[in-house]
């Protein structure tokens, strides 16, 4: 099955991005496709390369980036939501790209399921 | 960075946008509307649903001056216009519905007359079927 993923929360205040990450990883391991993960609302903060969690905590920004590199997942950050929150090319982490909301609608149109993670 | 190309040629799906949050206090209400408007560019069917405190989003007469927030309620006029265009123009294959959940509306002492745009008032049980029948549910 082809899954599109929508992440609506940042990497720390909520667990949504963690759950989405584990879902995405599990789906890929089971042989499903996850062509695109879209980051919206505070979810854009998952792409902030200046994020520096403590050494004994997980680093979601890096985990997403590594997963994207390893499994060829398209990580898209909403340009409008990102600009408001200061997520721009200057501080965009490896593995992410910035684009428009149309990329979310396309994922909904092109995937069998669109999974939303957030409150 | 692996840009993925979806083949969306001729794809027509039904998106349900769930608006469950009050208009101010969190950003969800404002940002979900941006997604609704973008979906029009792809000529997709849409149920734009207001439930829980989300019903307050549609209330006429928002005045945000004292809280210093942007009043985004004019956006609902744009959404209503998109819907009317789609309803009237035979060349646009796009069915949009603006739906208010009956129980949420009544629990907050609101009636259809309080809203800025024309809505369909639908009971929760029937709304569940509408959500079930849609292809994508996007919340805010």
Kindly list the residues from chain B whose CB atom is less than 8 angstroms away from the CB atom of residue A6. 138
Query: Do residue A106 and residue B8 have CB atoms under 8 angstroms apart?
Result: yes
Considering the domain boundaries, does residue A117 fall inside one?
A: no
Considering the domain boundaries, does residue B4 fall inside one?
A: no
Query: Do residue B38 and residue A101 have CB atoms under 8 angstroms apart?
Result: yes
Considering the domain boundaries, does residue A118 fall inside one?
A: no
Is the confidence at residue B69, as pLDDT, over 60? yes
Confidence of residue B1 (pLDDT cuts 50, 70, 90): low
Considering the domain boundaries, does residue B7 fall inside one?
A: no
Q: Which of B1, B31, B44 sits opposite A41 (nearest CB)?
A: B31
CA triple A6-A12-A13, angle to 5 deg: 90
Phi and psi torsions of B112, nearest 5°: -55, -30
Per-residue pLDDT, averaged over A53-70, amounts to 96
Per-residue pLDDT, averaged over A67-83, amounts to 97
Considering the domain boundaries, does residue A67 fall inside one?
A: yes
Considering the domain boundaries, does residue B26 fall inside one?
A: yes
Domain assignment of residue A75, given as a range: 2-24+33-112
The total number of structural domains that make up chain A? 1
Considering the domain boundaries, does residue B64 fall inside one?
A: no
Query: Do residue A116 and residue B137 have CB atoms under 8 angstroms apart?
Result: yes
The total number of structural domains that make up chain B? 1
Q: What percent of chain A has pLDDT over 90?
A: 99
Q: Nearest residue on chain A to B12, judged by CA atoms?
A: A109
Considering the domain boundaries, does residue A65 fall inside one?
A: yes
* Cα separation, A114 vs A107, whole angstroms: 7
Query: Do residue A68 and residue B1 have CB atoms under 8 angstroms apart?
Result: yes
Q: Chain A: nearest CA to B78, how far in angstroms?
A: 18
Domain assignment of residue B31, given as a range: 14-59+71-139
Considering the domain boundaries, does residue B6 fall inside one?
A: no
Confidence of residue B77 (pLDDT cuts 50, 70, 90): very high
Of the candidates A88, A104, A86, which has an alpha carbon nearest to the alpha carbon of residue A96? A88
Per-residue pLDDT, averaged over A24-47, amounts to 98
* Cα separation, A74 vs A111, whole angstroms: 13
ipTM for the complex shown? 0.93
Is the confidence at residue A52, as pLDDT, over 80? yes
Is the confidence at residue A12, as pLDDT, over 60? yes
Considering the domain boundaries, does residue A40 fall inside one?
A: yes
**pLDDT tens-place string over residues B20-67:** 999 999 999 999 999 999 999 999 999 999 999 999 999 999 999 999
Considering the domain boundaries, does residue A88 fall inside one?
A: yes
Q: What is the domain-level CATH number for residue A17?
A: 3.40.1260.10
Q: Chain B: nearest CA to A87, how far in angstroms?
A: 16
Considering the domain boundaries, does residue B94 fall inside one?
A: yes
Q: Which of A78, A81, A93, A107 is catalytic?
A: A78
A78 tagged catalytic: yes
Query: Do residue B42 and residue A109 have CB atoms under 8 angstroms apart?
Result: yes
Considering the domain boundaries, does residue B3 fall inside one?
A: no
Considering the domain boundaries, does residue A62 fall inside one?
A: yes
Q: Are A109 and B42 in contact (CB under 8 A)?
A: yes
Q: What is the domain-level CATH number for residue B88?
A: 3.40.1260.10
Q: Which of A68, A75, A107 sits opposite B6 (nearest CB)?
A: A107
Buried b (16+ CB within 10 A) or exposed e, B49-73: bbbbbbbbbbeeebeeeeeeeeebb
Q: Which of B3, B7, B34 sits opposite A101 (nearest CB)?
A: B34
Given the structure tokens 């403590």, which residue do they identify? A54
Query: Do residue B38 and residue A118 have CB atoms under 8 angstroms apart?
Result: no
A interface with B, Cβ–Cβ < 8 A, is 6, 8, 35-36, 40-41, 68, 72-75, 80-81, 95-97, 100-102, 104-111, 114, 116, 118
Considering the domain boundaries, does residue A37 fall inside one?
A: yes
- For residue B105 the two structure tokens come to 């509306």
């Amino acid at each position: 099955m082809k899954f599109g993923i929508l992440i609506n929360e940042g990497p720390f205040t909520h667990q949504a991005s963690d759950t989405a990450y584990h879902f995405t990883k599990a789906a890929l391991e089971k042989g499903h496709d996850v062509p695109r993960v879209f980051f919206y609302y505070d979810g854009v903060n998952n792409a902030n390369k200046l994020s520096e969690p403590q050494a004994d905590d997980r680093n979601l920004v890096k985990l997403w980036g590594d997963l994207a590199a390893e499994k060829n997942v398209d990580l898209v950050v909403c340009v409008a939501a990102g600009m408001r929150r200061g997520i721009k090319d200057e501080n965009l982490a490896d593995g992410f790209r910035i684009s428009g909301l149309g990329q979310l609608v396309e994922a909904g149109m092109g995937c069998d399921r669109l999974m939303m993670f957030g409150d | 960075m692996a840009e993925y190309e979806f083949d969306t040629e001729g794809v027509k799906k039904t998106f349900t946008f769930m608006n469950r949050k009050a208009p101010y206090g969190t950003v969800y209400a404002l940002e979900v509307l941006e997604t609704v408007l973008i979906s029009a560019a792809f000529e997709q069917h849409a149920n734009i649903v207001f439930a829980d405190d989300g019903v307050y989003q549609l209330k006429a007469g928002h005045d945000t001056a004292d809280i210093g927030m942007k009043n985004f309620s004019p956006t609902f006029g744009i959404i209503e216009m998109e819907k009317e265009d789609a309803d009237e123009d035979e060349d646009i294959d796009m069915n949009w519905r603006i739906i208010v959940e009956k129980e949420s509306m009544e629990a907050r002492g609101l009636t259809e007359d309080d809203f800025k745009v024309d809505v369909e008032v639908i009971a929760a049980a029937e709304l569940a079927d509408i959500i079930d029948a849609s292809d994508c549910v996007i919340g805010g």
